[in-house]
Amino acid sequence: MPILRTLLFVTIMTLALCGLHYYLYLRIARGLSLGPAEQRLLKLGLGALFALLWLSFPLMRLVPRPIASPILWASYIWMGTMAVSAVTFGLVDLARLLGGALSPLLPIDESRRIWLGKLVDVLALGGAAAMSATALTQGLRKVGVKRVEISLAKLPPSLDGFRMVQLTDVHIGPTLDGRWLREVVSKVNALQADVVVITGDLVDGSVAQLLSHVEPLRELQARHGVYFVTGNHEYYSGVDAWLTELRKLGLTVLRNERVTLHPQGLAGPGAAPLGIDLIGVDDYHAGVFPGHGPDLPKALAGRDPSRLAVLLAHQPAAIAEAAQLGIDLQVSGHTHAGQLWPWGYFVRLQQPYVHGLHRHGSAQIYVSAGTGYWGPPMRLASEAEITELVLRPQRS
């Protein structure tokens, strides 16, 4: 059955990519009014890019990173450009269909209509190129710090201003390396956080390929430690080996576990419980891997429910159970805030929240746009972030 599912997936993806490349061929050839010779060159070029996309997946797994990385840069940039262009052309063609339906009502002669059609095709090509260039520029921009204040009813007044710095969806892999991560670590350390949390999708590749590039995490500093939970990409990259190495780098891995942070020391008898319960669960879909899977009830067993509970869960979808079980704040990633507009609208079909701070019943959830990116080094209508979460006691 797994082999059949894989074959079905590969077949569907191949057909979809073939159709998409053919659609782009038609739109580019029409927009530039290419002759037969130019059309043949365009077909060869798009065919080569199609092959490059498929080669990128085995290359990432089988070829040493120094060899695969330049090829994957080209492949991923084309992937992003293709996505942006397809959306741009699709919107233009929808507008063209609407215009065609209304054309009998418009006093435009046939020659002018043809001229307008060619102008629209040229503008669509220019728009796709401009949006792709903008997305690449934004994707390669240095990541900044985003400060978010969150009011929490159970936070003791003595912990007002407790600062949690979140990294998520870092995606160290073919196009993001140790030098880039070292800059991120330097920015995090400059914040002098109370606690640093990494909410999954740290790597895209094996320990053998990427351990040296993840080494800068050893330098992360926080008063009460650095904590990690798995994302879905850890399970594609050899999760158990990675968890062993991350522990060696000084990270505390929370796998359906909790720790209690006592920034002000232990409360005395009869006093309100000081501190924060920090809880971490495996990725939402990790149950398909033997020995893995989220188990929030296990992590919460025996805890004092009057103490503030902060859950680290890679996917926002975990919030449904978290709110039912008394979690006060969930910190998540996974969505990249869509990464490339308009894909965030499709993320909403799978996840309850795409980006930002939200209330879900009695709980709150913050979803980061991600610190790195997956695949194309591009962002459009989303911005990478190192998130500084500042906790405040809720005031009446």
Determine the Cα angle at 134 with ends 129 and 140, to 5°.
125
Classify residue 370 as left (phi > 0), alpha (psi -120 to 50) or beta. Answer: left
* Residue of higher predicted confidence among 111 and 336: 336
CA distance 92 to 133: 19
The yes-or-no verdict on residue 260 having pLDDT over 80 is yes
| pLDDT tens profile 31-80 | 788 889 999 999 999 999 998 888 877 777 777 778 888 888 999 999 99
CA distance 184 to 109: 59
Residues 89, 25 contacting (CB under 8 angstroms): no
| pLDDT tens profile 40-54 | 999 999 999 998 888
Provide the pLDDT for residue 13. Answer: 79
CA distance 314 to 286: 11
Provide the pLDDT for residue 270. Answer: 43
Instruction: List beta partners, residue 388.
Output: 147, 165
Q: If we measure between CA atoms, which residue out of 319, 333, 330, 329 comes closest to residue 369?
A: 333
Residues 216, 185 contacting (CB under 8 angstroms): yes
CA distance 97 to 228: 50
* Residue of higher predicted confidence among 110 and 334: 334
Determine the Cα angle at 23 with ends 10 and 79, to 5°.
55
* Residue of higher predicted confidence among 326 and 113: 326
Determine the Cα angle at 78 with ends 76 and 81, to 5°.
115
Q: What is the DSSP letter of 276?
A: E
The yes-or-no verdict on residue 130 having pLDDT over 70 is yes
| pLDDT tens profile 264-297 | 644 444 444 568 999 999 999 998 889 999 999 9
| pLDDT tens profile 179-211 | 999 999 999 999 999 999 999 999 998 898 899
In which residue are the tokens 């070292």 written? 182
From residue 188, how far is each of 180, 185, 221, 222 by CA, in Å? 13, 5, 8, 9
Instruction: Give the domain ranges of the chain.
Output: 2-139, 144-393
Spatial CB neighbours of 8, under 8 Å, sequence gap ≥ 6: none
Mean pLDDT of the chain: 89
In which residue are the tokens 């320990």 written? 207
CA distance 384 to 75: 21
Provide the pLDDT for residue 59. Answer: 72
Q: Within a 10 A sphere around the Cβ of 189, how many other Cβ atoms? A: 15
Q: Identify the CATH assignment for 144-393 out of 2.40.30.10, 3.10.20.440, 3.60.21.10, 3.90.1150.10.
A: 3.60.21.10
Return the minimum-mean-pLDDT range out of 90-104, 142-156, 226-240.
Answer: 90-104
